[in-house]
């Protein structure tokens, strides 16, 4: 049997604007994983994928409309081998449609486990390209940030179409992540932002550029370990995400609660309108911010760091 996993991710700066060519910063969350187990199939022909979290089973015949089946099909195409008899079980601790990159993580874990089991483990860049193809099923125009972070498993400065650049931190960064519990498929928010952009190009492009500028400034502040500055930049990024109309009452409630409890800055993370928010905290405020988020109604709270 072969097992592989891939982490969740948070976007620290630049979601949505990244789709339009602006830089973004994102990091893996190793405390939340998707895992795939591959073993030889004994009671059937071909590949069968068991998604135990949603109690469903898929064969490659479903590759046109199922992301897991499509992932497995792409692995076989990449390795140029005929369909073997395999039993694959996929599980994820990462909530779906919550801005944590669950779709990319599940595909990455599956492609990693399967290619390793078949004796040709795919390196991160190839894995990332493969998962990117699958991401297009989740929403038509992905920037590529999710597949990049989960496949490389490193904090990255990402610009669409360029080789991702790992970023270093001048001081450890501690984050508290709070889930609104509201499911919000990325496809919807990305589509709405696109419609807004189509109707008001000049206005949207100035917002995208402003977000890109914050991401570049944040990259510098992170390298220099200036945490207070990073927090302020996160707040400024959140204000621009509000302009793009991808925040929500639930996100604002958690973001304000985190700030009031002493977070250095807070913003939504991922597609928005629901899903998760992320707050940057000094380690001595971590517990207070976690508690404040719970009191404000977060469905789930966890901490993660970039050291
Ligand atoms: O909601 P998530 O975790 O899939 O994050 C999407 C990030 C966006 O910038 C909104 C879309 C993209 O493809 O970059």
> What percentage of the chain reaches a pLDDT higher than 70?
100
- Per the confidence metrics, is the pTM higher than 0.75? yes
Give yes or no for a contact between 143 and 24, defined as CB atoms under 8 angstroms apart. yes
Residue 18 beta carbon below 6 angstroms from any ligand 1 atom: yes
Distance CA(218)–CA(212), nearest Å, equals: 10
Among the CATH numbers 3.30.70.890, 3.40.640.10, 3.30.460.80, 3.40.50.1860, which is that of 169-306? 3.30.70.890
Residue 37 beta carbon below 6 angstroms from any ligand 1 atom: no
Q: Could you read off the pLDDT of 106-117 as tens digits, one per residue? A: 999 999 999 999
Please state the domain extents for the chain. 2-158, 169-306
Centre of ligand 1 to C-alpha 22, Å, is 13
Tell the residue number behind the tokens 């994102």, with chain if given: 26
Instruction: Reply yes or no on whether the pLDDT at 138 is more than 80.
Output: no
Assigned CATH topology for domain 2-158:
Ribosomal Protein S5; domain 2 (3.30.230)
Per-residue pLDDT band for 42 (boundaries 50, 70, 90) equals confident
Distance CA(32)–CA(226), nearest Å, equals: 27
Mutate to test the pocket of ligand 1, among 22, 101, 145 (most ligand atoms within 8 A of CB): 145
Cα distances from 287 to residues 227, 241, 262, 280, 291, in angstroms, run 18, 27, 10, 12, 6
Cα distances from 142 to residues 160, 239, 285, in angstroms, run 9, 23, 35
Mean pLDDT calculated for residue range 241-254: 98
- 146 among known catalytic residues: yes
Terminal alpha carbon distance of the chain:
33
Instruction: Reply yes or no on whether the pLDDT at 47 is more than 80.
Output: yes
The protein residue with its alpha carbon nearest to ligand 1, atom 14, reads 143
In sequence order, what are the residues at sequence separation of 6 or more whose Cβ sits closer than 8 angstroms to the Cβ of residue 107?
67, 68, 71, 130, 131, 134, 135, 147
Residue 84: the pLDDT is 96
Residue 170: the pLDDT is 97
Instruction: Reply yes or no on whether the pLDDT at 265 is more than 90.
Output: yes
Tell the residue number behind the tokens 């599940």, with chain if given: 106
Give yes or no for a contact between 254 and 229, defined as CB atoms under 8 angstroms apart. no
Give yes or no for a contact between 106 and 92, defined as CB atoms under 8 angstroms apart. yes
Per-residue pLDDT band for 121 (boundaries 50, 70, 90) equals very high
Mutate to test the pocket of ligand 1, among 67, 140, 142 (most ligand atoms within 8 A of CB): 142
- For the chain, give the mean pLDDT: 96
């Amino acid at each position: 049997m072969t097992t592989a996993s891939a982490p969740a991710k948070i976007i620290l700066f630049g979601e949505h604007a990244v789709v339009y060519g602006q830089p973004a910063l994102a990091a893996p969350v190793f405390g939340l994983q998707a895992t795939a187990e591959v073993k030889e199939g004994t009671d059937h022909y071909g590949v069968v994928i068991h998604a135990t979290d949603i109690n469903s089973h898929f064969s490659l015949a479903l590759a046109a409309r199922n992301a897991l089946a499509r992932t497995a099909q792409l692995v076989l195409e990449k390795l140029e081998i005929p369909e073997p008899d395999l039993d694959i079980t996929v599980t994820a601790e990462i909530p779906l449609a919550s801005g944590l990159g669950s779709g990319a993580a599940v595909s990455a874990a599956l492609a990693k486990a399967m290619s390793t089991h078949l004796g040709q483990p795919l390196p991160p860049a190839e894995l990332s390209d493969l998962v990117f193809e699958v991401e297009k099923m989740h929403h038509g125009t992905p920037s590529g940030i999710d597949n990049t972070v989960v496949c490389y498993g490193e904090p990255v400065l990402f610009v669409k179409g360029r080789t991702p650049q790992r970023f270093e931190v001048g001081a450890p960064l501690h984050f508290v992540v709070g889930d609104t519990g509201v499911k919000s498929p990325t496809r919807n928010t990305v589509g709405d932002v696109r419609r807004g952009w189509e109707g008001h190009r000049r206005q949207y492009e100035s917002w995208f550029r402003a977000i890109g500028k914050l991401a570049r400034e944040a990259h510098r502040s992170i390298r220099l370990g200036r945490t207070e500055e990073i927090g302020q930049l996160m707040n400024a990024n959140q204000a621009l995400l509000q302009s793009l109309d991808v925040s929500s009452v639930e996100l604002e409630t958690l973001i304000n609660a985190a700030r009031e409890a002493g977070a250095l800055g807070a913003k939504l993370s991922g597609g928005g309108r629901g899903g998760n928010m992320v707050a940057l905290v000094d380690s001595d405020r971590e517990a207070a911010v976690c508690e404040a988020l719970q009191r404000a109604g977060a469905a789930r709270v966890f901490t993660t760091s970039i050291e």
